Amino acid sequence: MPQPGDTASQLQPFSEESLLDLLVEAVDGLEDPLRGAFLRQFLRTVSQVDLSEAQSNDCWRAMLQRRREFAAAGKSLSFRATLVDVMTSLNLLRVPVLMEYEELRKLRINAATDALTGLYNRRLFDEYCEKELNRAKRYGHQLAVVILDVRKLKEVNDRHGHLRGDQILQLATTTLRTRLRASDSAFRIGGDELALLLPQTDPEQANILCRRVRSQYESESESLKLEIGVTLDFGVAVYPQDGDDKDKLIAVADRRLYELKDERRESEKAAAEPVRPEPAVQPTRGTAPVQPPPQRRVEPERPAPAAYSEQRKWERVPLAGTKAYAVLSDGGPKTARVLDLSYGGVALLLDITNDVPAQFSAVLHVPILPPVRVVLRRAYTTPVEGGRLRVGCSFVS
């Protein structure tokens, strides 16, 4: 049982959150003239800044609004942080003396980044886009604006839960960070939408980067063992070819993103539909029956061209669903995915812009096996979907 002399030991520290709640309740109970006078005196005491009653009321309303915004985003904001943020934004406080620098730095990071991915948010995307666009105009450089969409994210959320969907988004973030330069910037601008700003980047370079990001993302997402094949769709717009202001570039990138999505959707729909036989033409009297034309089979992938008609001598092992890859050393280092492997050769997947010599060396990285250096002779090349090239090679003894 507490003793009269132990009262001080029972007191609990008064939190800033409790202070703000108490102030809200007290200020709401005051009439307008008294509210302005009270807030002016209170803010002068805690900030050493003398405001008018009207400025004090504006500052208080902005503090409450900022607190609601952070609460809606699932973030808490201390009383001091709220006061410094609001007074600085209203140009009422030139030097933030109310809080330590580390606390102010955390406040700025939380206000500018997406909590799930750690990428910059939409507000910072708009700000950075204007800044990079002005820099590109000043120095005569190109600027690529890329809008990316995490395809089938809603299906993943519906079938596997939002935790799995969060992992899909975080994987996209990790993939981008491994591919972007220090001068590039990545943003999350919507639920399943990401954006990139790529200074000094032309359309070809931007599209090659996006295809590589997509290929790596598809490969690494296989480790999540989802029943749904997720991928990244993208649209690219480049200053000055596609526009000279932010809104125009974003509109062009958005349009190209949805054009790509529509093309892929139609391609998947056509591949899924069975081939229906055409009805036989009924012959006229005295003539032989007319047979319908032979039906074309829908192949899962394109065969090698007729120029390469050598009979396959060895059974191939498909590796398209693995992390197998090859590093090509001739003509500058390149990385290619390994599609299949046999005793006599290998099939590679490269960007269509890559120049593949007739004979070159490579290092194969195949699961379970150690890296192997080989010399390859190009046997055939076939364009495939997505602006890539399937290259069949035979081993040189």
CATH number of domain containing 365: 2.40.10.220
At CA 325, angle to CA 167 and CA 308, rounded to 5? 130
Q: What is the pLDDT of residues 150-193, one digit of tens each?
A: 988 888 888 888 888 899 999 999 999 999 998 999 999 988 89
Residues 83 and 143 in one domain: no
- Percent of the chain scored above 90 by pLDDT? 24
Residue 380 has pLDDT above 70, yes or no: yes
Residues 19 and 158 in one domain: no
CA dihedral 384, 170, 112, 194 (to 10 degrees): 20
Q: Are 79 and 20 in contact (CB under 8 A)?
A: yes
Write down the pLDDT at residue 261.
85
Residues 147 and 258 in one domain: yes
Residues 184 and 99 in one domain: no
Tell me the average pLDDT across 305-326. Answer: 62
What's the pLDDT band for 369 if we cut at 50, 70, 90? Answer: confident
Residues 137 and 255 in one domain: yes
Q: What does the DSSP assignment read for 210-249?
A: HHHHHHHHHHHHGGG--SS--EEEEEEEEETTT-SSHHHH
Residues 195 and 151 in one domain: yes
| Tally of CB atoms within 10 A around 286 | 5
Write down the pLDDT at residue 289.
54
Residues 28 and 62 in one domain: yes
Residue 31 falls inside a structural domain: yes
The model's pTM is 0.48
- Assign residue 152 the CATH number of its domain: 3.30.70.270
Name the nearest CA neighbour of 24 among 55, 86, 68.
Answer: 68
Q: What domain range is 322 assigned to?
A: 317-395
Residues 255 and 332 in one domain: no
Write down the pLDDT at residue 40.
84
Q: Are 292 and 281 in contact (CB under 8 A)?
A: yes
> What does pLDDT average to over the chain?
78
Residue 308 has pLDDT above 50, yes or no: no
Q: What is the pLDDT of residues 219-277, one digit of tens each?
A: 888 888 887 888 899 999 999 999 999 999 999 999 999 998 888 777 767 666 665 55
Tell me the average pLDDT across 268-287. Answer: 58
Q: Is the dihedral of CA 246, 249, 251, 254 positive or negative?
A: negative
Residue 388 has pLDDT above 90, yes or no: no
- Percent of the chain scored above 70 by pLDDT? 76
Residue 284 falls inside a structural domain: no
Residues 129 and 261 in one domain: yes
Residues 361 and 389 in one domain: yes
What's the pLDDT band for 101 if we cut at 50, 70, 90? Answer: low
Residue 290 falls inside a structural domain: no
Question: Of 233, 248, 269, which residue sits at a domain end?
Answer: 269
Q: Are 169 and 186 in contact (CB under 8 A)?
A: no
Residue 311 falls inside a structural domain: no
Task: Give the three-state DSSP class for 54.
Answer: helix
Give the whole-angstrom CA distance, residue 145 versus residue 257: 12
Tell me the average pLDDT across 297-309. Answer: 42
Residue 140 falls inside a structural domain: yes
Residue 14 has pLDDT above 70, yes or no: no
- Total number of domains constituting the chain: 3
Residues 250 and 132 in one domain: yes
Residues 189 and 147 in one domain: yes
Residue 296 falls inside a structural domain: no
Residue 292 falls inside a structural domain: no
